[in-house]
Structure 1
Amino acid sequence: MNVYIKAISYYLPEHIVTNEELVKDFPEWNVEKVAAKTGISKRHIAGRDETAGDMAVKAANKLFEEYDVDARDIDFILLCTQSPDYFLPTTACLVQEKLGVPVTAGAMDYNLGCSGYIYGLAVAKGLISANIASNVLLLTTETYNKYIHPKDKGNRSLFGDGAAATLVSDNGFANIGEFVLGTDGCGAENLIVRTGAARERNLRNNFDTDEDGHVKSADYLYMNGSEIFNFTLETVPSLVNQILIKNKEDIDSVDKFIFHQANKFMLSTIRKVCQIPKDKFYVNLENTGNTVSSTIPIALKDSMVNYQKEKVMLVGFGVGYSWGGCLLDFDI
């Protein structure tokens, strides 16, 4: 059976950190350098007491209002986050109660980063195809900035917080095509928060500064940018080709490509390697930054104003290593 995206909305926190504010903490940088390197001018940061669950609720309520959706019609909640409100209970359960979704609905968290939206669409499609659910509320929500050390200028310049809500159903405006997914845990060390969970419960309180002035600590988010970049260049071109083959399309028949909005330099390089025309390659991270699992739905929502009958490729990749993609067939 066909499964569709029926609605998309998103929420961004009120607090904004501009490049002008960022360089006050790092005087060796200038505004133009940050913008040129990352493609980001500002990023939204969750409040001290604002959690991923709080943002998911706000995104969902916005979707309900914008598309006139009744929470009582939701019969499954999928919530993607790597910054849950608690180790337990499941954040999706807390969200169910706050939204007024029926107690007969299923609800679960899953821990994925930049590929999380793709995986969520795949699971939602499976639930509906198997007649387990009819209306799946897919929530992606992340507060990475709570994991970033204040002196880590690299990660602070890249990541923004945010949440997106997508309603997946048996009818809607975008038919969800075939998926390609992949995993390689050998890259786990290259994007990690090492302490705090069961493997290493106690904080180390260790700090080091690399040659570029980036503060590193096992207690905060660590990203090996060069290794992540290499992984992306090795994985994404093949992924794009596999998606085309599985959906029986070629690169010329795809009208729009929406990749995970990592940073400007990485996106530009990937586009060239994949030989995707610039006018088909959508980029919108300037005012949001890298919102991890929410970058794709935010970009999808912002770009929809121009859609009619179009084929759109979605591609996610990152922490894990984990990657995935699919093709959407729009009819608006």
Structure 2
Amino acid sequence: MTTNVQNAVSGVVNAHIAAIATHVPEAVLDNATLAALYPEWPAEKIFDKTGIATRHIAGPAETALDLGVAASEKLFTQAAISRDDIDFLIFCTQAPDYVLPTSACVMQDRLKLNNGIGALDINLGCSGFVYGLSLAAGLIAAGLASAVLLVTADTYSKYIHLQDKSVRTLFGDGAAATLIRRNDAGDTGSIGPFEFGTDGGGAHQLIVEGGGFRTPRSAETATETIDKSGNVRSRDHLYMNGGAVLNFTLKRVPEVVARLTGKMNLQLEAFDKVILHQANKFLLDSLQKKLGLGDDAMPRRYADIGNTVSSSIPFVLEDIAEQRRFPPGRHMLVGFGVGLSWAACSVSF
């Protein structure tokens, strides 16, 4: 078989992650501020439980689209690529500017990308980067694109009740712009294969129920309740069943890791880094123990930015890059969360 056919069969795409740039809003929410609101949770307890010291919060008029544009502008400043070279734009967010039009179309204009490109949104959260990477790789493998701009951005803070410590301590707002390019002569990176999973039966475990057409916002959905832990929220706010999400994660992540290593006929030790969605310290500690990984094999980035949802994996990737260049190696990326949804893939540099 030719190399292209072999790669198609194996799920490996001759493309690579060429550059990543990230952006966070200016405002910072620290543990001392949260502790003043939740006297039973001192700042030290918040940090010990979550591993998070600070998180960045979008301003009242600052949207996920704004954060994504800022990250993309950084990428164009740092990376050796012209805006005219981009031939597809994918924007992953769960906080769009409008019901319609597609935010990616607005972003195309804001970034002054040419009119001859495709642009679309994907509504996915914690697994969104891996899913978006699969779409970008698929476009390149099909010969439909050669340079894809994948932008991830979320502003979960806008969904969170100020008196809900169960989620306000975890989530931070942020964005990442990732350039995925077809391999040319001399390029050695690859993307894939991928493994995916979905369990919509668990959708209610991590949800903003009010605001869509199934449950339009109303006086009823805006009615606030207090749970047994003292967290205040309404159906218009973000709700997370932490125990159920933890159990889902500890079951599904090892499964998808095993499926990917099995598909590649490799042991987990063959991967230089295993980069997981950066949910929080407790959850990642549990997964690290369950997967049998050492500290060096599982890099982390949440202490200063919190859980940035779809952008958490590219924040880690940016951290392991040296002078904006990725060191050679094979890494596994694993996203999991809202949906319920999960995905894993291999990337090589």
- Check conservation: 1:78, 1:108, Cα contact below 8 A: yes
Q: Would the alpha carbon gap of residues 307 and 70 (structure 1) be closer, same or farther in structure 2, given more than 3 Å must change?
A: closer
Partners of 1:44 and 1:152 in 2: CA distance:
17
How far off is 1:3 after superposition?
A: 1.3
Indicate whether 1:319 and 2:347 are aligned.
Answer: no
Partners of 2:16 and 2:253 in 1: CA distance:
25
- Check conservation: 1:237, 1:274, Cα contact below 8 A: yes
1:212-261 deviations in whole A, cap 9, x for unaligned? 11113101000000000000011011111111122232112111111000
**Structural mapping, 1:68-107, within 5 Å:** 68-107=80-119
- Check conservation: 1:259, 1:316, Cα contact below 8 A: yes
More displaced stretch, 245-254 vs 286-295? 245-254
Partners of 1:125 and 1:269 in 2: CA distance:
31
SS at match of 1:239: helix
Partners of 2:122 and 2:282 in 1: CA distance:
29
How far off is 1:314 after superposition?
A: 0.4
- Which residue is 1:211 aligned to? 228
Indicate whether 1:191 and 2:206 are aligned.
Answer: yes
**Structural mapping, 1:159-308, within 5 Å:** 159-171=171-183, 174-203=189-218, 204-305=221-322, 308=327
Partners of 1:286 and 1:17 in 2: CA distance:
12
How well do the aligned residues superpose, as a CA RMSD in angstroms? 1.2
- Which residue is 1:42 aligned to? 54
Indicate whether 1:53 and 2:65 are aligned.
Answer: yes
SS at match of 1:69: coil
- Check conservation: 1:247, 1:327, Cα contact below 8 A: no
4+ aligned runs moved over 3 Å, structure 1 = none
- Which residue is 2:33 aligned to? 21
Partners of 1:252 and 1:108 in 2: CA distance:
36
How far off is 1:173 after superposition?
A: 6.9
TM-score, normalized by length of structure 2? 0.92
How far off is 1:44 after superposition?
A: 0.5
Partners of 2:244 and 2:332 in 1: CA distance:
25
Aligned length: 330
Partners of 2:24 and 2:188 in 1: CA distance:
24
SS at match of 1:271: helix
Partners of 1:68 and 1:281 in 2: CA distance:
29
- Check conservation: 1:190, 1:228, Cα contact below 8 A: yes
AA in 1 matched with 2:162: P
1:130-155 deviations in whole A, cap 9, x for unaligned? 11111110000000000001111111
How far off is 1:20 after superposition?
A: 1.1
Partners of 2:210 and 2:269 in 1: CA distance:
46
Partners of 2:347 and 2:140 in 1: CA distance:
16
AA in 2 matched with 1:282: P
AA in 2 matched with 1:313: M
- Check conservation: 1:158, 1:289, Cα contact below 8 A: yes
SS at match of 2:329: strand
- Once the two structures are aligned, what percentage of the paired residues are identical? 48
Partners of 1:275 and 1:22 in 2: CA distance:
34
Partners of 2:82 and 2:328 in 1: CA distance:
27
Structure 2 unaligned segments of length 5 or more: list them: 5-13
Structure 1 unaligned segments of length 5 or more: list them: none
1:18-75 deviations in whole A, cap 9, x for unaligned? 1111111112211110000000000000111001111111010000001132111111
- Check conservation: 2:217, 2:236, Cα contact below 8 A: no
